[in-house]
Amino acid sequence: MARIAVGGFHHETNCFVKPDTDYAYFASHRDRPPLVRGEAVFEWLGGSSFALAGFMQEMQPGHELVPLLWTSGGAGGLVTADAFERITGELIGRLSEAMPVDAVYLDLHGAMVSAPFEDGEGELLRRVRAVVGETVPVVISLDYHSNVTPGMVANTDGLVAYLTYPHVDRAETGQRAAKAMQLLLQRGRPAGRALRKTPFLIPLNDQCTLVEPSKTIVSRSRVAEGDLVNLSYLAGFPPSDLYWCGPAVIAHAWTQEAADRAADGLLREIAMQEPNFAVEMVSPEEGVARAMRLAKTASRPVVIADTQDNPGCGGNADTTGLIRALVAAGAEDAVVGFLCDPEAARAAHAAGEGAEIALALGGRTGPEGVTSLEGTFRVTRLGSGRFNTTGSVSGNRPVDLGPMALLTTGGVSVAVTTKRMQALDQAPFQHLGIEPRQQKILGLKSTCHFRGEFEPIAEAVIVVLAPGYYRADPAVYPYRRLRPGIRLRPLGPDHLPSPGSP
């Protein structure tokens, strides 16, 4: 029986949005658990859809797991120095108190950029290694959108990534990490490590593993096979501004030769697929026009993805471009979710169900050119915002989105929340009395995760480019730290650092 320290610290950092992500945000209960410590880690994460739950399921029967802490800030602006140091410091302090341990497993994201450290996970893992020494194996699981760095690879012995986007295999990833850990407990730390970065960034919309070429690329991943501890592919998170941003192939193996051979082989396959990463995107007006034509004869909803206001990519979930286009076109039986507007939710609850209220809806936080939608709305339904998610992406998870309201103008309804949540689950709609499969048009603030729950019930999916803080084309980002020469999209322009970049 081994004594294994376990914990987690998640953040997917969009360096081009505000506000920064502070400690209070990590500590709050939103669409994921709050910051939890010690035995509360088991209580909140056990049976959930997170990777730590899968690791626990596999390892608890035969080993002693020592819980440190677990927290997730979702996606958003730069992690503040205070938040990074308080959470990292507490995790490292708890690890120090737990010593001696035989191994460490951490459930991380892999795209965290903090105010003091552009490679957030790399710095965390450096401190973990300093505590446990050179003989204790360290295994991590990472999100598919991780920006893997040399520091992350050097200070770990197994690195296992999600194989799906939409992410429907988080818990299974924890189980694969457990498989790697079992091997390391038997054989010790491996000698070989290889990191390969692709010469181009891949936009998030083009990373979906339901279609090619990503579907085949992720199928090449391996855990505890032959000479390999792992062969992992991670597609990267373009809005993170750091030197090592972008897709990566990582191999941990018992020999350096085996690690290099596996990583180089997969990198060659990805390079050959560069021209094949592409998803069509149109203006909100064109997308709405297409949806309304299809909806006339469709027996299922037409889904419109408002990709650039996706809170899962750091968007604020309060832009109005898609809603305006639907209202202007006179759409009927259309529902948009989830718009984060605490002021509108408060006003709706104060007025009560059935009331007609004048509102300036959404558009409160930019970006430039985005304004509120002013009008009179009917308060169709109110909700507490407390319920359990039900879908394949979220799993059975208790969430607290704060007071919610369904506000209707003409034939368009908007599901309003007090806290941000990506439209990746049907439960928030159902909480407000909306059955998604019965609608003509569903507008969803999501980039790809919506496909797990909504594509199976959709007549068609249309992706639109309404203004938002997530920019679907990485070439528009004003990178300061990104390495020179990398192509900013497949077959796209090379990155040329601007004057004054570090």
List the domain boundaries for the chain: 3-276, 284-471
Query: pLDDT-derived band of residue 497, with 50, 70 and 90 as boundaries?
Result: confident
Centre a 10 Å sphere on the Cβ of residue 320 and count the other Cβ atoms it contains: 27
* 107 φ/ψ angles, rounded to the nearest 5 degrees: -95, 100
Q: What is the pLDDT of residues 170-181, one digit of tens each?
A: 999 999 999 999
Alpha carbon distance 5, 25 (integer Å): 25
Task: Report pLDDT for 396.
Answer: 87
Query: Is 0.85 topped by the overall pTM?
Result: yes
| pLDDT > 90 fraction of the chain, expressed in percent and rounded | 96
463 three-state secondary structure: strand
User: Which residue(s) pair with 385 in the sheet?
Assistant: none
190 near 253, Cβ under 8 Å? yes
pLDDT score, position 502? 64
Q: What per-residue confidence (pLDDT) applies to 292?
A: 98
**CA–CA distance from 71 to each of 87, 311, 386, 394 (Å)?**
9, 18, 19, 16
Alpha carbon of 237 to those of 245, 358, 486: distances in Å?
7, 39, 14
Q: Taking residues 136-147, report their average pLDDT.
A: 98
Token representation of residue 312:
């899962």
User: Considering the chain, what percentage of its residues have pLDDT values greater than 70?
Assistant: 99
Token pair of 146, please? 């991780």
pLDDT beyond 80 at 498 = no
Residue 58, pLDDT score: 97
C-beta of residue 51 within 8 angstroms of C-beta of residue 169: no
Q: Is the pLDDT of residue 57 over 70?
A: yes
Element (H, E) at 380: strand 373-383
Show the tokens assigned to 391: 């879908």
- Rounded Cα distance between 421 and 432, Å, is 15
Structure tokens at 185: 């407990």
Has residue 23 got a pLDDT over 90?
yes
Average pLDDT, the chain: 97
Task: Measure the CA–CA gap between 419 and 5, rounded to whole angstroms.
Answer: 32
Given a cut of 70, whether residue 271 has pLDDT beyond it is yes
Q: Is the pLDDT of residue 458 over 90?
A: yes
Predicted confidence at residue 501, as pLDDT, reads: 65
Closest C-alpha among 203, 189, 166 to residue 49: 166
**pLDDT single digits (tens) 201-228:** 999 999 999 999 999 999 999 999 999 9
Q: How far apart are the first and last CA of the chain?
A: 48
pLDDT at 329 over 70: yes
pLDDT tens digit string along 311-323? 999 999 999 999 9
pLDDT for residue 210:
94
* Per-residue confidence (pLDDT) for residue 499, from 0 to 100: 66
Integer-rounded Cα Rg, in Å, for the chain is: 22
Sorting pLDDT into bands at 50, 70 and 90, what band is 297?
very high
Q: What is the pLDDT of residues 86-109, one digit of tens each?
A: 999 999 999 999 999 999 999 999
